[in-house]
Amino acid sequence: MSFESLGISPAVVRSLAERGIVEPFPIQAATIPDLLAGRDVCGRAPTGSGKTLAFGVAVAARVKDAAPRRPTALVLVPTRELATQVRQELSLLVSRRVGVVAIFGGVGYEAQRRALAKGVGVVVACPGRLEDLLQNRDLSLDKVQLVVLDEADRMADMGFLPSVRRILDQVSADRQTMLFSATLDGDVDALVKRYQRDPVRHEVPTDPTDGERVLHVKQPTARNDKVGATAELIRTHGPTIVFCRTRRGADRVALQLRGLGVRVAAMHGSRSQSQREQALASFAAGRVDALVATDVAARGIHVDGVGCVVHFDPPEDAKAYTHRSGRTGRAGAAGVVVSLDLPAAAAGPPRPAAAGRPNPASRNRRRRDTRSSMARVR
């Protein structure tokens, strides 16, 4: 199977080859012919499977020039980081004349308004900021003919579906709608039924060899030894993402790792958008060895070549573990996922609370849960 056989133009094939992309991944081979034919497509594939290139090729082939404030293609994504990365990928495929702009919060409005006013064909947007601009009449969606819902399951998890519905209701009903998600049940299935017309469904299961390529390890580690153990894992496995529960914890661990001679950058919700982008760019370019992050980095960050994921603090639940761990072993590469668990003896059983007084451990746990919930909302 080659990109030429999928119907992609020779110019785009040459552009991909120059970047070392010569053979399509399964989700690309399955969906690109239908996307190029103008069909609505519903694609299920795991993270890191090449979905962005699949819909990017179709958008580049079918998008039209835009009038000021009237884009002709719209890509909705759940996070700022993913918006930036999708914009970068599409910019390599879409002609400069048509143009691509990323729309998200955490930065000023004016640069985004200027780009829209000049006329840009493709808008890659997070729902919240896009709704703000729509309400202020900075753009209209009445000329949009191509819509992509990327990582629809994550948008559902983050509570964006009401915004997504309001946005899609403003787009022409005869558009082509492409939906990509790791799962297609529940709220995502409701989106498919409401907003897609006779979609072609393509499901690419998790590669059965993933378990062979990604090694999951529980490493009992005393609390005082966790930073040293993390530094050793980074030196052993190369580019590593270290996940901490809180923003303050991420900053503390980053500082301690620097003290051990490890080049690190911290990334979490208290950092400005420019600081988060700089941290991610430094990590992707190899200027730092590790990214120390809260779960904000588990959603929408796509960096190939991550050798190891370290759960410095345990994830909130199984879904969080999956999102975090999915940062390694991408695009067929090998990876290691290490959970730094406290030894059983060190953890010990919880001590009973004094009669008539609240259990301090329970109170602290409630406080952590509250902070965690607030962090997710922000």
The dihedral built from the CA positions of residue 33, 35, 41 and 43, taken in this order, carries a sign that is positive
Q: Of 179, 120, 118, 174, which Cα lies nearest the Cα of 148? A: 179
Name the band, by pLDDT with cuts 50, 70 and 90, for residue 357: very low
C-alpha to C-alpha distance for 319 and 317, rounded to whole angstroms = 6
Q: What is the DSSP letter of 206?
A: P
Tens-digit pLDDT profile for residues 61-114? 999 999 999 999 999 999 888 899 899 999 999 999 999 999 999 889 999 999
Query: What is the rounded average pLDDT of the residues 184-188?
Result: 89
Q: What is the DSSP string of 285-308?
A: TTSSSEEEE-GGGGSS---TT--E
Q: Where are the domains of the chain?
A: 4-203, 210-345
Q: How confident is the model at residue 330 (pLDDT cuts 50, 70, 90)?
A: confident
| Closest CA relative to residue 8, chosen from 50, 45, 59, 61 | 61
| The pLDDT value given to residue 126 | 96
Mean pLDDT of 362-372: 41
Please tell me the predicted confidence (pLDDT) of residue 158.
86
Share the mean pLDDT of the chain: 86
What's residue 11's pLDDT?
A: 87
Q: In the chain, what is the straight-line distance between the N-terminal and C-terminal CA atoms, in Å?
A: 44
| Statement: residue 44 has pLDDT above 50 | yes
341: exposed, middle or buried (C-beta count within 10 Å: 0-12, 13-18, 19+)?
A: middle
pLDDT tier, 270 (very low <50, low <70, confident <90, very high otherwise):
confident
* Percent of the chain whose pLDDT exceeds 90: 62
* pLDDT at residue 354 is higher than 60: no
At 272-325, the pLDDT tens digits run: 878 888 998 899 899 999 999 998 766 667 788 899 999 999 998 887 888 888
Exposed / middle / buried, residue 8 (Cβ in 10 Å: 0-12, 13-18, 19+): buried
**6: pLDDT strictly greater than 50:** yes
Q: Rounded to an integer, what distance in angstroms lies between the CA atom of residue 271 and that of residue 265? A: 11
What pLDDT shows up at residue 205?
Answer: 67
- pLDDT at site 372: 40
Residue whose tokens read 């695009």: 331
Enter the pTM of the model. 0.74
Q: In whole angstroms, what is the distance from residue 342 CA to residue 360 CA?
A: 20
Summarised one tens digit per residue, pLDDT across range 208-241 is 454 457 899 999 999 999 999 999 999 999 999 9
331 secondary structure, DSSP code: G
| Residue 349 clears pLDDT 60, i.e. is over it | no
Note whether 4-203 and 210-345 share their fold: yes
Q: For the ranges 174-178, 186-190, 364-368, which has the lowest average pLDDT?
A: 364-368
Q: How far is CA 150 from CA 155, 310, 371, in A?
A: 9, 26, 28
Q: Which of the two residues, 207 and 193, has the higher pLDDT score?
A: 193
**210-345 adopts what CATH topology?**
Rossmann fold (3.40.50)
The residue among 255 and 295 whose pLDDT is bigger is 255
The backbone torsions φ and ψ at residue 356, rounded to the nearest 5 degrees and listed phi first, read 80, 0
In this structure, of 112-116, 128-132, 182-186, 287-291, the range with the lowest mean pLDDT score is: 182-186
pLDDT at residue 362 greater than cutoff 50: no
Question: Strands, E, within the chain: which ranges?
Answer: 41-44, 73-76, 100-103, 122-125, 146-150, 176-181, 200-203, 214-220, 240-243, 264-267, 290-293, 308-311, 335-341
Do the beta carbons of residue 94 and residue 128 sit within 8 Å? no
C-alpha separations of 79 from 82, 101, 128 in Å: 5, 15, 10
Class of domain 4-203: alpha beta
Task: Indicate whether 342 pLDDT > 60.
Answer: yes
Structure tokens at 329: 């072993």
Residue 374 pLDDT greater than 60, yes or no: no
Q: pLDDT class for 49, splitting at 50, 70, 90?
A: confident
DSSP calls for 37-98: TT--EEEE--TTSSHHHHHHHHHHHH----BTTB-SEEEE-SSHHHHHHHHHHHHTTS-TTT
CA–CA distance, 226 with 223 (Å, rounded to integer): 6
Asked if residue 253 has pLDDT above 90, the reply is yes
| Res 355 pLDDT > 80 | no
| 198: pLDDT strictly greater than 80 | yes
**pLDDT of 365 above 50:** no
Contacts of 6 (CB under 8 A, 6+ apart): 24, 28, 29, 32, 33, 36
Total number of residues shown for the chain: 378
Tokens 């399964």: give the residue.
26
The Cα 75–Cα 83 span in angstroms is: 9
